[in-house]
Amino acid sequence: MNKEIVLSARNIHCSYGSADSSIKVLKGADLTIKVGEVVAVTGPSGSGKSTLLHALGLLERPEKGKVFICGEDGWALSSRKRAELRNRKIGFVFQFHHLLEEFTLKENVMMPCLIAGESDEEAGKKAERLLERVGIIHRASHFPSRVSGGERQRAAIARAVIMKPDVILADEPTGNLDTDTSAEVEKLIMELAEEGRRSFILATHSQDLASAVHRRFFLSSGILSEDE
Ligand SMILES: Nc1ncnc2c1ncn2[C@@H]1O[C@H](COP(=O)(O)OP(=O)(O)OP(=O)(O)O)[C@@H](O)[C@H]1O
Ligand SMILES: [Mg+2]
């Protein structure tokens, strides 16, 4: 496999429900992402953007199809190996940020490092550097419910990149943000991609965000197509 390719998905099918009343959400999606590329997946609500990200991120097994992360066939691995691959290579920003409410922003950002076995001191230093980088170091000791939506989203992005993943999957990273705050988060994502040669796959309703990225895909009626 080409070394420059970080993620490649082949013929992804996903459906929900039981055999007699199932809905087909994805009908054979293909996608190839190179190092440092930022791509957007747009499509109406319910078209399957989150479903696609969960399959690509090795969180929910597709009915059919393969997902290669840095050349490794993610869904063919044992669940332990798959979790390892996910932790090393993939970062997530979930649709509703998913910060842990009982932890401060700094603790939330540190969490992946602690889970990976790093010391408090080491993880704390990294988290502080990143909070500084994303512009919310002054909110490090605040709890998610006590900061703005944009600050929560920056913390979620910092948490997603702290393990230096090759690809970050971000589900509506600018959802629920006002225009100016969205523009700032969008700028941050593009800068983080360039600085770290990181790839991002963004699911978004925002035409502004979609127009800022390198490549755009559209999801409709279960079919993923690239805008040329
Ligand atoms: N766990 C589930 N069980 C059953 N159906 C589901 C489940 N998750 C999603 N769906 C259905 O699958 C379809 C795709 O959902 P998905 O959340 O992927 O869409 P989306 O494009 O992310 O939408 P949005 O833009 O609103 O976030 C929808 O019809 C949804 O109702
Ligand atoms: Mg969604």
Q: What is the pLDDT of residues 174-193, one digit of tens each?
A: 887 888 888 988 999 999 99
How far does residue 2's CA lie from ligand 2's centre (Å)?
A: 30
Checking if the pLDDT of 1 tops 60, the result is no
Q: Which CATH number is associated with domain 5-226? A: 3.40.50.300
- Ligand 1: residues with CB < 6 A are 16, 25, 43, 45-51, 95
Does residue 6 contact residue 166 with C-beta atoms inside 8 Å?
A: yes
Alpha carbons 169 and 134: distance in angstroms, whole number: 17
* Structural contact between residues 192 and 184, judged by C-beta atoms closer than 8 angstroms: no
Neighbouring residues of the ion ligand 2, judged by CB less than 5 Å = 49-50
68/88 Cα distance (integer angstroms):
14
Indicate the DSSP class of residue 175: T
Six-digit token string for 164 = 């230096």
Give tens-digit pLDDT for 27-58.
999 999 999 999 999 999 999 999 999 999 99
Residue 97: the pLDDT is: 64
Domain-wise residue ranges, the chain: 5-226
